[in-house]
Each structure stands twice: as structure tokens, then as C-alpha cells.
Structure 1
Amino acid sequence: MRHSPGPRGSQPPMKLVFAGTPEVAVPALDALIASERHEVAAVVTRPDAPAGRGRHLVASPVAQRAEEAGIEVLKPVRPRDEDFLARLREIAPDCCPVVAYGALLPKAALEVPARGWVNLHFSLLPAWRGAAPVQHAIMSGDEMTGAATFLIEEGLDSGPVYGVLTEPVRPTDTSGDLLTRLAFAGAGLLLATMDGIEDGTLHAVPQPAEGVSHAPKVTVEDAHVDFSAPALRVDRMVRGCTPAPGAWTAFRGERLKLVQVTPAPGRTDLAPGELDAGKHSVHAGTGSHAVELVWVQPQGKKPMRAADWARGVRIGPGETLGA
């Protein structure tokens, strides 16, 4: 994305209402707050949600950051609620940047800002439209991904694109690792997009019709690891589902989370799911060669080294995962 800054003179800051909820949205909010070219007049986020052992209601990371900065926080149960829409019209934002807000915006809300709602999405659109683009990019073995800013329309992530950035997928990346990098790089992209929209030098370009793929939310059932799959696919599944929802298998009838595995091409002697526990390592067979279990999390316990887990459960000959 390239644009030239236009003359500002005494032009007032562009008034923004930022919409976002999780931690991954905070870097973008910080970048916009720090900018002298824009005024974050309010923040829209999801309502407080139960968290922790006590299940007490906790404000979203975006809400907490906005409150620290003294910014008004709006928490509609549904973005179509008339009270929320009325307040949004009163604020009269010029533009509404969005990062992982977590709710669909109705037409009545989309029509409020003169320059629309602009979403920072963590993929190279039109690839991986949907809720979990980073997880699907890793699970599918993409070597390159990125982020894009686009004008929100009523379709799913189908609006015209303002700008993109690229980011390589590293061989050991989890979705958490990759999303953290994209969150910080994407913050700069979103700020540059707001600058370009404000000074009139940036215009959205329709997405190509080819190359569309979809990235629905990854559920706990989706994260069930199939050890009859090749080792490379098992590794991608574990990395793509880490930290959430967490890849898992079964051992002795209980769920066992797989926090980290590493392909072990030298081991081709194990059947799919078959375990072999040595003094310092644990291997499991797959549909190709084995994988080494590095970190696991037994049900109701904290993550631990797989070798420590194996010593505790005393794996017997021929025992398997996934039964």
C-alpha cells in the first residue's frame, strides 16, 4: 500500500470509533490512540464475559485499554440495539476501524460513518475469509500469509481492499505466534489506511473473484488429532490449534492435549497412534513417520514435558493414542 500524505493545514483530526475485543486488537487501538491525525472518540467491544476460576465478569482487553486511556466504551449485547445505534449516530464518527470485534454489524450501523467501517483481517484476501484465518493458514501448510484492510460490506470479508502486508509462516509457528506478529504489523497497516482515507490518497480495490477460501471457527471437535494422517499434517494441526482451542487426542479414555510435537522422520517403526516412551523422549506413530511429543497437557492438569508425563503414567508396550 502506497500513498502520499496530503496537506493538512488546520484540518481537524478524523473522528474514529474503534471496534475490537480480544488482546490481538489492542496494538491497533494503541496505534490509533497515539496518532495525532485521528481522534478515537469511542470504542465498541463485546460485553463483559465470565473468566477465571471464579467465573467473574471481566471486561475485554480492548475495553480495559480504552478505559485506561479515558475513552468512552460501548458494550452492546447486539450491535443492532437501538440504544447503541442512537449513541453511534450522536458521536457521528468519520470512520470506524475494526479488529476482531466478534459480532456482525447490521446495515443500520454500517451506514453511520461517512467513510464506512474498515476491517483489519489477518489473511491475504480473498484467501481465508472468516473467523479463523491464521489457524487455517497454518493447518493448510501455507508458507506465506499476511493481513489486509478492507471496507466492510454485508458479505463475509468480501469488501474492497485498501492495503495488504505479507508475513512468512515459520516452520515452528503456532497460531498464537503468527497472530501476535500480525497484530503488531497490522496495527501499522490499519493506521496507514486511516491516514490514506483521511487525506484522500487511498482507494479500495475490489477483491479478485479467484482464490477465495473460507476459514470458519475451529471447534474443539475440529481439533481432534487423527494419527492416521501423515506426520506433517499432525504437526500442522497441533500448531494451528495452539493455543486455542487446543489440539487433543485420547489416552486411556481421557483427553490429552497436545501442546507441541515435532516430526521425527527417522522413526518409521510405529503404527498410527502407537506410543514409544524412552528415558528422555516420547514418540507416537502417524500415517507416515513418527512425531515426538514434546509438551502435553493431561486432563485437569497443567502443561508438562511429555517425557515427565510418560514416566508418571508408565506407558505399556503397544499402548496407543486416540483409542
Structure 2
Amino acid sequence: MNTKFRAIGFILVVVAVLGSTPAWLGPYYLSIVTATLFFVALTSAWNIVGGMTGQFSLGHSLFVALGGTGVASLVALHGWNPWASLLTAAVGSAIVAIGISLLMFRTVLPHLSFAMVTLALAEVGLLLVISTDALGAASGVVWARDDGFGLDSPEASLWAALGASVVVVAISWLLLRSRLGYYFRATRDDEDAAAAIGVNLFRIKTIALVISAVLTSLVASLYANYLVFVDPYQFASPVLSISIILYAVVGGLGTVRGPVLGAGLLFPLAEILRGEFGELAGLHLVVFGVVIVVVVLYAPTGLSGLIERFQPGRPPSQPVNARPQNESSQPTHTLEKE
């Protein structure tokens, strides 16, 4: 109980510090903090399907495009209400996620197949956006903040980003500790064993992908309104998906704090490097590479696993299907059949 109180207290302190940043940070660094919080939310949303369930999606830029480019074009180019546009994009993301699930999850395919198909779909999505005038085409969309979600000041944008990140991280925490979270991890660790004890793999993977897609779309809508200019090569490019995956891998896949640590470290680091050493093009990519190599060599489970390793009195994490060595070969508990 004391550990929970300490965790809650730490979270409240972090929220209070971040919420007060407009009082002691300049506009440039405040914008970095705001964008970082949005990417914490996006990475945490991807982690639900990619980290908890083990389905490595390279096509999450599809859902970012639906929530960002789609909503921006509906509001700025077609005069829709922003909240109706946001809900429409969220429903559209859920439908697209179900379609991908029907295409990929009805049969047991290698994880690499899912990654390659989602990457191909993301490329198709980018081509569709840049060739469609109704979506702003290659020139993008300008979405004024006063015609959106009320993000008409740096403080409002910061609180919107902070609220989005807290909500997505809280949902991840609840999922990880629910029965559904156990199904997610069982599917990730051994699909054959999970199916043998009655887990409906198609249903579990579909639920994870739909939750992740809807959350990604909602966060992307807020982020697009914050940026004002919605660039299709930023919101619909698979490069965005790869960046999010890098943040999750460095932070720690399948954990709640992993995406927070990964995005909270790498995104502001890249922005500061670009701002301070703009004449050295690609420097942030070199730093990314060095960080990833160091993490792979010295912290295979990411920064989250590294922190856990040094927590006093806490045993190292075990896989979901791990059992004590003195346990009989016959399982004494099974997951409830779906």
C-alpha cells in the first residue's frame, strides 16, 4: 500500500511540475514539452497492441492520418464541427482496425507478416492522402487553433497534451492489470499455449488493435490542432510509426512506464539537438542509433527493465508463463475460456 501511495504521490508531483511549466519555461522549451507529452500518449497507445499483445504494427500512421489529416480536412476544408469530426475519425479508425484484423488475424500468421502488411497499408495511406484534394493533398491543411478544440494558448495546449497522456497511460495501466491484460500477455508470450487453454486469439488481437487505433486517432486530432499546419508527410508517413516504435523499444515494451520513458527521453533529445546543432544534419539520428545500441547491449528489456533491476527488494520480472522450478508439470490454474 505504501508503494501505491508513493507512486500516486510521484505522479501528482510530476503532473503539477509539468502543469506549471508555462510559468518558468520559455516558449521554445514549452513547445517541446507539449509535443513530448503528445508523443508519450501516441507511444503508449501503440504499446497496447505492439508491446502488450506482441503484434508489431508498422502502420499506425494510418490511424494518425485519420485523426490528424482526416479531422483537419473535415474542419478546415469542409466546415465540419471539430468534435463531430473527432468522433467520426475515431469510429473510422476502429473500422479500419477491424478490417486489418479480419485480413490478418483470422489465421495464424508469422508476426513479420503482420508488420509487413501494416507497413504496406501505411504506404498506401500516404499515397492516398497526398493525391486527394479533399484531404489537402501534398500541400497539407492549415487548421486554425480557434476553429478546433480550444487550444488557443500555450497553456491550453499543454494541459490538453498532459490530459491526453495521463488518460492513455491510465488506460494502459488498467488494461495491464485486468483479465484482458492477462489475455494480451498470454497471446504475446505463446500463442499456441494461449489457444490451447481457450483464449480466442482473433478476439483478443482485434480488441487490442481497436483500442490502440481509437486512442491513436483521438490523440492525433489534438496534436494536429496544436500544430496548426498538418503536413501529410508528418502525419501519414510510416516514418512516424517507426519513430513511435523506437520510443517504445528503448523505454520497454509491454510496460506502462516504458513508452513514457522512451518518448520522454528521445523526442525532446532529438528536438533539442536539431535546435542547438541545426548545422549538423542528421546528428539526432546518430544519437538515436547510439542510444538503441546501448539499450540493446546493456538493457534488453529497455529503460523500464533497467530501473526495475535496481529497485531494492524487488525480484526481476518473469515471463507471463513462467513458473517456479518446484511446481509440478501440470498447471493448477488456467485462464477462463473466452
TM-score (norm 2): 0.25
**Relative contact order, higher structure (CA 8 A, sep 6+):** 2
TM-score (norm 1): 0.26
Higher fraction of strand: 1
